[in-house]
Amino acid sequence: MRIGKQDNGYTSIATSDAKSITVRGLNVADEVIGHLDFTHYFWLLVTGTPPTETQKFFANAVLCAIAEHGLVPSVAVARMTMAAAPEAFQGAVAAGLLGCGSVVLGSAETAGRFLAGRIEAMDRDGLTEADSARAGIAALRADRQAIPGLGHPEHSAGDPRAIRLLALAREHGVDGRHVAMLHAVQDALPDTIGRTLPINVNGAIPAVMLDVGYPLEALKGISLLARTASLIGHLQEESERPVGFMMAGAAADRIAFAAD
């Protein structure tokens, strides 16, 4: 049984022959290695066009912002996997990335789609930013969903990473419609949920990246790339100073058993 389209497919990313490898039109040996930094190369791979200096600057900024935040769930599961299977470094990295979802780490994508949807609603229905923000919040609340990009269990007074990224966007003059909508959503919270919440890093990242021209469909890739670097660091430490079994033991001690 055939599933999906059966047309003749093609890729525009890479090809090779006996003497060369070509990626996005560049000869890897002659034009990439020793010429491009990795962030430039990452943007080129994803978008097909080289980044401007501003785009590269903000890609670097957000990758640094989201890479590391301690023994968060993705790190904990990776280190416990490494403890159980020390021969499977790649499996431990994969375990850490598999939990990149709508609640932790992957929530930048959720926030980005929400902001883009609110802008689309503005343009389609002739709404103001404030009205579109309130309508979006109301729809989320009706479905008992959290407001993406807002709130943080630790940084209740303000996520320092988000504050810095949004300040940089202002300084560089790239705070466009997505940043404005993010602020409109935050401003609408007192009237819609009865309290305010700080913008978190997963709200700032999509707002800034979309405003500098990064594709919405690849937003989760930012977090995946950044967290991969962090996981490699944690797994190297795990190989020298293991804590994976300690975390597993702490979980067993913390969780009580109760018969159904």
* Per-residue pLDDT tens over the stretch 190-209: 999 999 999 999 999 999 99
Q: How confident is the model at residue 152 (pLDDT cuts 50, 70, 90)?
A: confident
* Per-residue pLDDT tens over the stretch 227-253: 999 999 999 999 999 999 999 999 889
Q: Is the pLDDT of residue 127 over 90?
A: yes
pLDDT score, position 69:
92
Region 111-123: what's the mean pLDDT?
97
pLDDT score, position 20:
98
Edge-to-edge strand list for the sheet holding 21-23: 14-16, 21-23, 26-27
Q: What is the DSSP letter of 105?
A: B
CA distance 124 to 40: 35
Q: Whose CA is closest to 207, among 169, 173, 158, 171?
A: 169
* Nearby residues of 205 by Cβ (< 8 Å), 6 or more positions away: 62, 65, 66, 108, 111, 112, 165, 219, 222, 223
pLDDT score, position 216:
97
Q: What is the mean pLDDT of the chain?
A: 95
Q: Is the pLDDT of residue 260 over 90?
A: no
* Per-residue pLDDT tens over the stretch 30-66: 999 999 999 999 999 999 999 999 999 999 999 999 9
- What does pTM read for this prediction? 0.93
What CATH architecture does domain 52-249 belong to? Orthogonal Bundle (1.10)
Asked whether the beta carbons of 206 and 169 are under 8 A apart, the reply is no
